[in-house]
Amino acid sequence: MITLIRHYFKRTMVEPINLGIYILLPAALVLMNILIVGAQLGLDAELSELIIIDGYNITNTLNSLIFLMFFQFFGASLIIDFLFLDFRGDRRWRLLSAPVSLWKYIFAAVIASTIFSVFAGLLNVAIVTIFFNGYLHNPFMYFGTIVVVALLNQFVGMLIFLLVSNKTTMEIIVQIFAWSMAAPMLFGIDLGTVGNNIIRYVTPLGMSIRAVTYSGFIGDDMGVALMNLGILVGITVVLAIMVIIVSRRKKF
């Protein structure tokens, strides 16, 4: 099993597009945002007092958190790539003829994709914390939320793979899934009171951000933070059960 996980993880790391999308692109967007905010700070001393608190840049921290969680939701593409190449391509018959359970391949791919997503997320947290005065207020909630969100998206990817036959359509669904939650936050799109509340309080992206921010960052209510994290765990479990049920009817 360890060998299979290592195999899938290496496949993830050697793909330039994975390194670009999950590590370099979020870091570049955060850096761009930091430069814009930095320029504003230089022109507005009052704004600087609101953003810089005890030496930490609160705006940098919040913006990096939004980008970090947003890009986690593209993690579904990782497991889709593995499953499509291995089980709907030329490799399928070689894997099925090997003396290894089909589910071992799948579990190894899920674990490897999750590890990569968590690694990419933590790396971006480290960059903002070390180089841009980010406020790492609760490392355990950061880590726990990233792990749960990364795993949640692996099951989302598996469900999409099982229910959709066309690879391009799968990727489009992943894009819609991620952008529909993130676009209002990133671009300040007003969806009205109901729509805004759904994005902030109901979507997995909104709950992941609240789980982190309420653990001592903007808010200081661990009850709210743990409730949001607990709901995300529940969603992940439900998705896992759905994958098991659907996979019995539609084979990998």
CA 77 from chain centre, in angstroms, equals 11
| 30-34, 152-156, 224-228, range with the lowest pLDDT | 30-34
Residue 229 reports pLDDT greater than 80: yes
Note the pLDDT of residue 240.
93
For residue 4, is pLDDT > 60?
yes
HSE-up (13 A, CA, CB side) for residue 186: 19
pLDDT at 55 over 50: yes
Q: Which residue has the higher pLDDT, 174 or 25?
A: 174
162, 252 contact by CB (below 8 A):
yes
Task: Single out the residue of 73, 95, 70 nearest to residue 84, CA to CA.
Answer: 95
The reported pLDDT for the residue numbered 15 is 78
* Per-residue pLDDT at 132 exceeds 80: no
**What average pLDDT does this structure show over 48-66?**
71
Q: Is the pLDDT of residue 157 over 70?
A: yes
pLDDT for position 104: 84
Between the ranges 32-46, 131-145, 202-216, where is the mean pLDDT highest? 202-216
Would you state the pLDDT for residue 223? Answer: 92
pTM over 0.85? The answer is yes
- pLDDT band at residue 17 using 50, 70 and 90 as cut-offs: confident
Angstrom distance (rounded) from CA 222 to CA 195 = 26
Per-chain mean pLDDT for the chain: 83
User: What's residue 160's pLDDT?
Assistant: 94
Looking at per-residue pLDDT, the higher value among 23 and 46 belongs to 23
User: What pLDDT score was predicted for residue 43?
Assistant: 47
Say if residue 143's pLDDT is above 90.
yes
- Phi then psi for residue 129, to 5 deg, are -70, -45
Distance CA 222, CA 17 (A): 37
